Amino acid sequence: MSVLVDRGTRVVVQGITGHQGTVHTRQMREFGTQVVAGVTPGKGGTRVEEVPVFDSVRDAVSATGANASCIFVPAPFAKDALLEAVDAGIRLAVIVTEHIPFHDMLVMYHYARERGTRIIGPNCPGIASPGGSKVGIIPNVVFRPGRVGVISRSGTLTYEIVNGIKEHGLGQSTCIGLGGDPVVGTSFVDALPLFESDPDTDLLVLVGEIGGTAEEEAAEYIRRSFSKPVVAYIAGRSAPPGKRMGHAGAIISRGKGTADSKVAALEGAGARVARFPYEVPLMVAELAAARVRA
C-alpha cells in the first residue's frame, strides 16, 4: 500500500510538449509510472516519449482511463488547465507550475475540493512512492522502497533528506512535496491522516520552514491524532526577523511563523526536531533501529 499513488495510477501530463513536460515524462516513465497520455491543444495525434498526445483532458481520459494529472502548463494558463482536469474526472492533480497568481489558486482550490479532486502543489516537486508511481519532478535516484513517510514544504530539502535516508540503508513508503506557496492544495494536516492509516509507513519525516502556521497546526494534529514517530526539520532558523526567504509562503508576520515557535510546537507534540538537515536521516535510523529491537 502507499499514499495517493500506486502502480494503478494512470497519469496524463498537461503541457507534455514543452521542455519540462517532455523531460519529466521520460523520468516518470523510468520510475515506473504509467504515463498514459499527454495534452497540448493543437498537438493531438502526435506522440511524446511514446506517449499519445490529445487536444483535451477529456479526450485523454476517455481514451486511456487516466486518473491523475501532472500539470506543467505556464502560470497564466494553469487555472484553466486545472479546471479542465477536474471537469474531466481527474481525482489527483499535481501542479508543478510556480508563480500562479494567488487569486487563481484560491479559485482552483475550492473548485477542486468541491468536486472531489485533490491538488498537490502548486510550486511543488510532486509525489512519489518507490516501487509504485511518481507524479512530478523529484529525482528518481534519491529513492528506494521502504517504510519512512516524508511530507515537505521544501523541494530541494526534500531531495537532500530523502537521499540521506537512502544512504542510511532505509527507504521511503511515500514522499509528498506540498509546495511553498501561501495557498496549497494539500497541507500537512491533510496529509498526516493518510500516513497514519498507511500500514506500510512506520515513521514520518516532516520538513517545514518559516512562515505561516502549517507546522504548528501539524503539531497539534500529531499531539492529538498521530500515533507514529515523527522526525522534523524546520528551515530558516537563521533568517533575519521580517525577512522573506525563498518561497512566497515563507513570510513571518507579527511574530507568527517563526522557526522557534514551530520547533517548540513540534517538540511539544513529541516529535524529534533536527537542527540541521543531515541530522534527520540519523534520527530516522535510530528510530527504525529501536522499532526493530522492540
Name the residues annotated as catalytic: 247
Distance CA(165)–CA(144), nearest Å, equals 9
Residue 103 CA, distance from chain mean position: 21
Q: Which three cell numbers stand for residue 189?
A: 494536516
- Residue of 78, 65, 106, 67 lying closest to 14 (CA atoms): 78
